[in-house]
Chains A and B, each alone.
Chain A
Amino acid sequence: MNRQQIGLKLVLDQLGQTLDLRTFDRRLALQKTVYLCQKAGVNLGYPFRWYLRGPYSRELTADAFQILSTPGGLADLTAQGWSLDEKSTKKLAKIRSFLASIPKQEATKQLELVASVHFVIAYNQGKADHPQGIEQTLRKAGKLFSLEEIRNAIGELTTHGFLPKAQARC
């Protein structure tokens, strides 16, 4: 495995997640989780682009499949001597608690919502400085989230440090 794939596996281990690409929901959760990690400063180096279901990185998909098909790809890398830097480890502990707070049955929708709202704000798309503007931008892209859902998502993003407080003007 290359260093980026090793980093990805270490991040998932820190989050207590098993790499599993068998269903769409699991692949979506992986995409949005890694997107949020990167935006929190744990930079795995994957470029994310906008797709129908929000931020998506085909490079991440390719690496995830490569890890699964690599002999020993799912082995414990910490036991082999690899580790993450301390700042990233601390940030991942916070992200882990955020992920744990999402009810399992809502995980797909919630992650999609939070990551999509973040993307609109981070890349300053449309009128990204208020919830109505974000709702309009997302609706134009075919994503129907209510104003209340968007407000809650902004709250979650701010509370868990994915958005700096000054940027969450909504």
Chain B
Amino acid sequence: MPSASLPPTVSSQKPKLVVDNVHGDIRLTTQEWRIVDTASFQRLRSLKQLQMGHLVYPNATHTRFAHSVGVRAIMERILNRVKIKQAAKPKLLLAALLHDIGHYPYSHLMENVDRVVLTEESLKAGAVGEKVDLHQSESAYPDHEELGREIVSKQPDLLGAIGSQELASEVGHLFSRTKIADQQLSKLIHSSLDMDRMDYLIRDSRAAGVPYGNIDINYLLNQVRMSRSGMLGIEHKALAAAEHLLLARSFVFRVVCQHKTTYGLEEAARQLLCRIRKKGLYKLPTKRKDILGLVTSKQLPTFTDAYLDQIFIQASTHTDAVIKSLARSITSRRPPRLLKEIRAFSKKDEKYGQGALFLRDCKQGLQSLAASSGVPAGQFLICELPSIGFEARGPNVAAAEALKMKEEGAEEMIKVFWPEEAKEPTDIVDVPHSMFHVIGDYVFRTYRLYVAYPEDDQDEVVAQLRQKVAHWGKDS
């Protein structure tokens, strides 16, 4: 594919200024400003960055819009520090600005509906067959990066602002990393000095009012260096700042994203949407092609958090008791209550005994618990939360294997120029005095059982249920 060129007007016009609470003044080119001013991009103002985080942290109402502009600002700072082909820079900046253009309402919440196993499905599997439909025409909402590619290459307002189909397609491939770029560009895009992460850690923790994501971004960006082979790393003296970045991500995920109340609300929403989709209610898209049709139509600007809010409100009066309860948990903010939680910090490939026992007890005991309490089984939410790790691999991997791993996901690991005179950077887990040399392949695992019961006698019912499940997950 020939390299797409930018419209000639771009560099000649005066940049516009955005004042951002994380990065300060951000100057956008005229072309970027034209993109920002499209209805397709403005939609990002109506997508909250932290999904339902605002229902726990009231100020966490910041949006994908601010984050997108912030990521573009970080990209510019990195590009100013590395030697890269001049022609590639404006495209990388556009890719950074547009990287989240394909997000769903409530972001990953709606995107992950296909991953949901309804409680009664997990309980009855074995007695009644449950089918997983993977046939392409029927299944799976597309991921947000695929939606993003569709939007930038098919929405007329964005296409017009970008300037050409060719450039739109190239930018889409860059942010979704489906472009087979030359190796230098590829290493920059895949670097784990990930601009996305750097922005959201600071932005999310500031908005939530927690200190955990407050990384030393200025020092990190000032210590970035590109090796002769094009590998991006940080100078050895910034090792502590890099360790802080990895720890910060873990803390923000545990404290903010997996907060017991936020996660309970989001799980209720996922289960609710899954039920609504199965029943074909409220015009919620049921198939992959429906979503693709929606985001490439004039309806795109309406595909915001409010789109799902309307569905939640309608569902809160539905006749199905489970649908109604799950919806009311959200709309009345009577969140699912945590009945029991098991946590572990162990190696990525280790099985966890108490978690196993807990899941077993949930599956064996929930039917009778539902029957004895009068709460339908579908209102109990069994959750095996995504594990939270640090890096793609741990230390102590044989050298030959580690070399090969650099060619898969491990290329996204943070790299450090160590020893200090090294010409090429080393994976942080291989720096002997880094804490990730010891805990790099450890993960946090969490298992939870909630009940969505938004009734007036919630406290009494929950207290009784907690008593009944108190011994679950323990050896008998």
Contact = CB atoms under 8 A, between A and B. Distances in A.
B460 interface: no
B149 to A, nearest CB: 9
Given A3-B115, A50-B180, A68-B349, A82 B190 contact: no
A24 B405 contact: yes
Interface string A35-66: 00000011111011111110010100110011
B360 A71 contact: yes
B113 to A, nearest CB: 9
A51 B182 contact: no
A52 B359 contact: no
B422 interface: no
A51 B115 contact: no
A11 B134 contact: yes
Contact of B288 (A43, A51, A56, A79): A43
B351 interface: yes
Interface residues of A, number: 60
From A43, A65, A127, name the one whose CB has the most chain B CB atoms within 10 angstroms: A43
A138 B186 CA distance: 13
Contacts of A62: 386-387
A2 B108 CA distance: 15
Given A71-B360, A119-B180, A83 B130 contact: yes
Interface in B372-416: 384, 386-387, 392, 401, 404-409, 411-412
B130 A126 contact: no
Contact of A51 (B125, B135, B360, B408): B408
Contact of B124 (A3, A81, A123): A81
A2 B125 contact: no
B180 A3 contact: no
Given A45-B114, A65-B349, A69-B348, A88 B135 contact: yes
B180 A83 contact: no
A149 B186 CA distance: 24
Given A44-B140, A51-B407, A141-B183, A66 B387 contact: yes
Nearest to A42: B134
Given A45-B143, A82-B129, A50 B349 contact: no
B126 interface: yes
Contact of B132 (A6, A65, A68, A79): A6
A125 B351 CA distance: 42
Interface in A14-32: 21, 23-24, 27-28, 31
A87 interface: yes
A103 interface: no
Contacts of A7: 132, 134
Interface string B184-205: 0010001000000000000000
Contacts of B119: none
Nearest to B387: A66
Nearest to B402: A24
Contact of B348 (A65, A81, A83, A88): A65
B351 A71 contact: yes
Contacts of B348: 65, 69
Nearest to B288: A43
Nearest to B351: A69
B27 interface: no
A45 B351 CA distance: 26
Interface in A105-156: 119-120, 123-128, 137-138, 140-142
Contacts of A101: none
Given A50-B177, A58-B409, A125-B180, A42 B135 contact: yes
From B406, B409, B411, name the one whose CB has the most chain A CB atoms within 10 angstroms: B409
A1 B122 CA distance: 9
Given A47-B145, A126-B180, A85 B135 contact: yes
B136 interface: yes
Contacts of B401: 23-24
Interface of A: 1-7, 10-11, 21, 23-24, 27-28, 31, 41-45, 47-53, 56, 58, 61-62, 65-66, 68-72, 79-85, 87-88, 119-120, 123-128, 137-138, 140-142
Given A10-B132, A69-B351, 7 more contacts: A1-B384, A3-B114, A42-B134, A51-B411, A126-B1, A127-B1, A128-B1
